Amino acid sequence: MRFAIVNDLRIAQEILRHAVAQIPGASVAWVAIDGRDAIQKCKADKPDLILMDMVMPVMDGAVATRAIMKECPCPILVVTSSIEGNLALVYEALSAGAIDAVHTPTMGPNGSILGVDALARKARVALAATAVQISRTILQTIAAKLPAITSQKYGTSNVPLVVIGSSTGGPNALSVVLRGLTVVPSCCTVIVQHIDVAYAPGLTHWLTGEIKRPVKVATEGDSPSAGSIFVASSADHLVLRDGLLRYVVEPAEQIFRPSVDVFFASVVQERVRPSVAILLTGMGRDGAHGMRSLRDAGWHTIAQDQATSVVWGMPGSAVEMGGVVEILPLDQIGAAASRWVQSRVA
């Protein structure tokens, strides 16, 4: 694995060099001192992963991330000394295509590097997100949870459920869809975004500011209620079980935690009355199997189109699997979902 380091501070560069050296199979491809330098070097030599700082002279990391994803797409992991202090830049970078965020490793009192394990774990997930295929074992586990239910009785809840999965580029896509989802007061919206549990509360706060409606982290035992917008917030998987939102460990081997497929599978298994499922921009295939099963169960399924996706991996895979009823530009998805819900509750 060839890592690139983008940071203007010499001490941070050296700490990151030492941190990368401690990750098995990893090496440093190059070092850039600002965002503009990173763009030029990425065009000349694309690494396996870029470790992108946020606050830099000349060009910050969020702007650089957006340019790299347009001009020479490459997996990007935000690595910054203060995620909380740079929240706006971090979510701008995540919206532009960065996969996740982690704190910059630091030097311990005895000269050791602190934070290498967290960096290595995030790097593995970021690299896995670029893979086109997922484990057959995982697919079998998920498939076992997806019985045919078209002839079965639906659950008793009268609250329409809108379920959304997203990953790379998701924060901005979510804000656009939620602003267009005018039926929020009459439905419950549940979002599974690939993001570390530590940053999910920040995402809900950011989305609340963007859409001017309250967005909450989903906690164990929450009941889907009209007007609620929940975001999965756990290192485990969000599921719907016995009418309540729960967190489960299995499938333990699924690297995306929380997983869109696992949540969608639980909705099918719960026999929720068909409503709308949306799959937005993201690398990989998570959510594709779940979308197909939801469509088979009578749900109206919408995928973001390729032109407006930062990465058309997840929605593209769902289209390939025949799990999508509508393929729409990002700015039309909220309105389309609203029309469908309104036509069923009128």
Q: Across-strand partners of 60?
A: none
**Helices and strands counted in the chain (H then E):** 12, 16
CATH code given to domain 2-128: 3.40.50.2300
Q: What is the pTM of this model?
A: 0.83
Q: Judge whether 194 counts as a catalytic residue.
A: yes
The pair of structure tokens assigned to 171 is 């924060």
The pair of structure tokens assigned to 228 is 């609620």
pLDDT tens digit sequence for 7-41: 999 999 999 999 999 999 999 999 999 999 999 99
The pair of structure tokens assigned to 315 is 């929605």
Q: Judge whether 222 counts as a catalytic residue.
A: no
Q: Which of 167, 228, 259, 266 is catalytic?
A: 167
User: Please, which pLDDT band fits residue 302 given cuts at 50, 70 and 90?
Assistant: very high
Q: Which of 53, 103, 175, 194 is catalytic?
A: 194
Q: Which of 286, 293, 309, 338 is catalytic?
A: 286
Range list of β-strands (E), 229-299 = 229-231, 237-241, 244-248, 276-279
Torsion-angle region of 217 (φ positive above 0: left; ψ -120 to 50: alpha; else: beta): beta
Same fold, 2-128 and 136-345: yes
Rounded Cα gap, residues 179 and 328, in angstroms? 16
Q: 89: exposed, middle or buried (C-beta count within 10 Å: 0-12, 13-18, 19+)?
A: buried
Summarize the confidence of residues 115-129 as an average pLDDT.
Answer: 84
User: Please, which pLDDT band fits residue 222 given cuts at 50, 70 and 90?
Assistant: very high
Domain boundary assignment for the chain: 2-128, 136-345
- What CA–CA distances, in Å, run from 72 to 51, 249, 319, 344? 15, 36, 25, 44
Q: Judge whether 8 counts as a catalytic residue.
A: no
User: Please, which pLDDT band fits residue 146 given cuts at 50, 70 and 90?
Assistant: very low
Q: According to the CATH classification, is domain 136-345 in 3.40.50.180? A: yes
Reported as type and span, the H/E element at residue 113 is strand 113-114
Q: What is the pLDDT of residue 157?
A: 56
